[in-house]
Structure 1
Amino acid sequence: MTPKVMDAPPAVFAVDDVWRGTWMGPSLVRRGGSTLHYVGPVDSSVPAAEPLPGVLLPGWCDHHVHLQLLPNDARTSLAQGGLSRVIDLGGEPRELSELPVVDAFGVEVVHAGAFLTAPGGYPSDRAWAPTGSWREIASADDAESAVFEQVALGASRIKIALNAEAGPVWSDALLAEVVADIRAVGLPVVAHVEGAGQAARAIAAGVDVLAHAPFSEVLPHELITQAVAQGQRWVSTLAIHADRAAALENVRAFRAAGGEVLYGSDLGNGEQPLGVNQAELAALAEAGLDETAVLRALVGGFGRGRWKKRVTWMLERPASVLDLASAVSVGVGDLESLSERSRRTPGS
């Protein structure tokens, strides 16, 4: 059990290496409450610093998971697999809002509530979709009510479905109404886009995040530059595709134009490890992301990363992107345990 914040005493640690957008080398970090602060390079004039083996990085996030499709004890396994935070992009909102919190310092969970979709639209016909994990919208009045329902149950973003391969999708007018209602409550809009022309519709509507890097077709350069200009971000989810040629080409073009890619695995979709997925890391490398770009995708839009409550630990600096799958997530109050953990780690 992770110590409560008031039980974790202030401390200064001397760490072999720290990543803050770049590798800093041997460094001092200071724990204050539930937050870890970077102090600077190791200084022999700080004799009270406790030696900490291995390397520290900000807490990592999987930006696309479905917790209701995972075992009930998944949060513990997700931390052991290197994740400090997950974003659920579609489930029964009341259940998501009432997830049992065994440990306040466990893996952070934020969610989008239910999929908002057209009547009979995706994922209403999918066997994997739990009852209540989608909300059908047929009118502007439906849209306003559905958005407020998700907000009332704690949604931090709203997800819409534009999957023309699986069923009906909204008209452009109703799509604009749904996006406007989400904007009115101050939340970002996340879209599942699938089928010819659906990515273009999402970009034209001003969607903030695509839940999957577009995979149905190769997007024209002008459309990709428009998405980048609008500040749109794409969640990768590359490894779930048997044929990901179009998605890889789109990601390469998106990044070349200055777009930001977020790490996401669509965890719950098929057999995947409970944690950072090495197959997704390999796919990101195939798309041209180097170590720094992959780490930024894992950190996910928080500058130098989150150093509150949980951080990422590795025994040593990774030799390749694939080595990132060996990371674990550790509570800021549990840093002292890393010395023992390093002695138990094979090959240490």
Structure 2
Amino acid sequence: MSLTNHLSSKESPIRQFIYECAPQLALAGTRGRRGHVVASSFGFDELLALRTQLPIPEEVKDRKSHAVVAGMALDYRLRMDLPGFNFVETVAQRGLDILAADPGVVHRGKHIHKVLNDAFNFAYLTLQKRDSHPLNLARASVPLAWCESIARTGPYEALSGELGRRIKQAKDAVDLMLSIDDSLLVDIAVMRDAVEPLLDAWNRGIEAGGDYVPNPRFLGSVAVGGADADWAVGDMLVDLKTREEITSSWIRDTLFQLLGYALLDLDDSLGIRRVGILLPRQPYFAAWTLDDLLDEDASEALPSLRADFAVLLTNKG
């Protein structure tokens, strides 16, 4: 079971443990005056007041599918602008490998793998070109998102619907890449441009010697289905969210997800002391210290919390 699924289940001992680590955060945004006061103390009001400036384009019919692909593709598009982006080390590559190992799990699996693999290579070549057009870079990020969906949900689930039909109908990778909707490409490109100042700041910090780990996994990840985050920049764990509607309950849930990741870093290999949520549709970047979320000194509290969490994760099965 994934960390997200654990956090969605009130019966999960993993959820219960994480919530008990941050009792004040658990109250934030709940009904009543106290819930509102606590939410304000965590800065929820600033996020709730945000206006969505970059909504999903009006012409998009299947908004849910668009949102999922746009979010994953944007993650890749932003990583392309940060140091050391390596196609081979991505979850997208893992998805391709999973399909290659058993293409028979879906109808015309060998064809699907070949077309996706060629599209993957197209993305690689696009990134190698100097001064590639922004829409070409956005296009290059989409097959990576498709391949990642195979790793996340499995080949059958990811390819038994519209995506599988689209790839099977494509004669080759060029045909597939040209079939990507312009609305999706523009959406990715404009969201990327909206967060460019933050990318520039991160790049300056990394060039000055700051730590940077894309798509970090944690020592405890294997116990919850291989949990991974978007980026670790310096001492901050960052999650990208392309959500349009922001609510108190959603902010709280997202912060618990990030806190869960921080606790899964059992050996403190990333030195996480802050967490951040990047909201490109607003656009806005919000950050919190672990001191604030835990309501105590994180450096003092984390060793014992992680030790207890490790025991729980070990005994879970």
Could you say which TM-score interval applies, normalised by the shorter chain? under 0.3
Bigger strand share: 1
Q: TM-score, normalised by structure 1?
A: 0.26
Bigger helix share: 2
